Amino acid sequence: MTRISGVSLRRVLDSRGNPTVEADVLTVSGGFGRATAPSGASTGEHEAIELPPNEAIAAARKHAVPRLVETVHAGNQREVDAALRGADGTEEFSEIGANSAVAISMAAAKAGADVLGAPLYQHLGGAFRGDQFPVPLGNVVGGGEHAADATHIQEFLAAPVGAPSVAEAAFANAAVHETVGDLLTERGIPAAKGDEGAWAPAIDDSEAFEIVAAACDQVAEEVGFDISFGLDIAASELWDGDAYQYGETSRSPEEQIDYVAELVHEYDLAYVEDPLEENDYEGFAALTERVGSEALICGDDLFVTNTERLQQGIEQGAGNSILIKPNQIGTLSLAVDAIETATRNGFTPVISHRSGETEDTTIAHLAVATGAPFIKTGTVGGERTAKLNELIRIAEDAV
Ligand SMILES: C=C(OP(=O)(O)O)C(=O)O
Ligand SMILES: [Mg+2]
């Protein structure tokens, strides 16, 4: 029986040292699931609402827990997530907080899997899942909202598209990260790490392109498979209402499209996330028209894992890929809806961590459960390797 017998909520630390919501879900037959909400720094304005954890916990205890306990089945994810939506009563989870909602939603999924004795990816994806693994996009240099005085572009990503296994892909990304560190040292450039463990040197974007391209090439040669290059520009953070501000350089929307199209060609980019600000569907469409056959043009802040916003993107040809962050929308069911809508319409889903993370591994299972071709997890740091190591275990059937 997966009927929920108890839900407990607490504040725990995330990777930035901020409090976040953790949920435990228990079932009448002794099933147990625990999950923790991540938290963004470069958040989209259309995301579901993250409340201060104390408030989110108090509101969820009052409104959601009584609806779940003794009534809802942890093994029925749609039922769990509908109860969370009903308890909240708003479109954007502003009553109980998307942080409480997503923690409970993910913990219930784990409790459901526990009762079944099945790995989470199989509970979420079905008996025939588990043979398709995502390519991990590894953040190796970063700045923007994730590190002060570093690059303007938020993330320079290694994309080991030719890796024969998820384990080899994860190790290749770590090698690119290490090589970037060596190249920075050779140039006498000191670098701390940003929120996601990427190097955060005080260099121009152009120098970062040079270094990351060299590191990807060097490691590709060593490992013997292709390592492409990707970006999360996080352009909403550069947008001032009129133009994109890269320090001294300002680019109009048209110039931004030209700039990104040139980057795609110059660096053979496989992936570009948020090349334009979060409401510019037309700009996304224009860029997709130009380079969409060469690179994934992915909407993060544009779509915020929201099926309605994605639907508009599909209609307008704005992008060809969607970033999936369950806490942007509040429940696993809504995240899966977005993934399925994307896949049906030829948009590539990319499952993603947040800059504020925990040791929670749900997104690794979600990627395998849905057969998503890519996952963005970072490269080094315990909260990032937690997801990569879980993928390695799933591939070995050792979860
Ligand atoms: C992971 C990201 O950062 P954050 O969690 O800060 O939104 C992102 O922008 O893709
Ligand atoms: Mg992003």
* Digit-coded pLDDT (tens) for 25-59: 999 999 999 999 999 999 999 999 999 999 999 99
Tell me if residue 193 is catalytic: no
Q: How far is the CA of 353 from the centre of ligand 2 (A)?
A: 10
Report pLDDT digits (tens) over 345-396.
999 999 999 999 999 999 999 999 999 999 999 999 999 999 999 999 999 9
Half-sphere exposure of residue 93, counting CA atoms within 13 Å on the CB side? 35
pTM for this prediction: 0.98
Q: What CATH number was assigned to the domain covering residues 135-395?
A: 3.20.20.120
Residue 104: CB partners within 8 Å, gap ≥ 6? Answer: 7, 9, 23, 25, 35, 60, 64, 68, 80, 84
Q: What CATH number was assigned to the domain covering residues 4-117?
A: 3.30.390.10
Nearest ligand (C-alpha, residue 355): 1
Percent of the chain at pLDDT > 90 equals: 98
Other Cβ atoms less than 10 A from the Cβ of 78: the count is 11
User: Can you give the pLDDT at residue 1?
Assistant: 76
Backbone angles phi, psi at 29, to 5 degrees: -95, 10
**Residue with CA nearest ligand 1 atom 4:** 40
Distance CA 113, CA 126 (A): 11
**Residue keyed to tokens 């942890």:** 74
User: Can you give the pLDDT at residue 147?
Assistant: 87
User: For residue 123, is pLDDT > 90?
Assistant: yes
Tell me if residue 325 is catalytic: yes
β-strands 374-376, 135-142 pairing:
parallel
Closest ligand 1 atom, CA of 43?
A: 7
Confirm whether residue 353 is marked as ligand binding: yes
Residue 383: CB partners within 8 Å, gap ≥ 6? Answer: 14, 15, 353, 357, 358, 359
User: For residue 333, is pLDDT > 90?
Assistant: yes
* Contact between residue 58 and residue 40 where contact means Cβ atoms under 8 Å apart: no
* Contact between residue 19 and residue 50 where contact means Cβ atoms under 8 Å apart: no
ipTM above 0.90, yes or no: yes
Catalytic residue among 47, 95, 277, 325: 325
Q: Do 4-117 and 135-395 fold alike per CATH? A: no
Closest ligand 1 atom, CA of 44?
A: 7
Nearest ligand (C-alpha, residue 47): 1
Report pLDDT digits (tens) over 184-242.
999 999 999 999 999 999 999 999 999 999 999 999 999 999 999 999 999 999 999 99
Domain edges within the chain: 4-117, 135-395
Q: If you average pLDDT over residues 305-322, what whole number do you get?
A: 98
β-strands 32-36, 19-27 pairing:
antiparallel
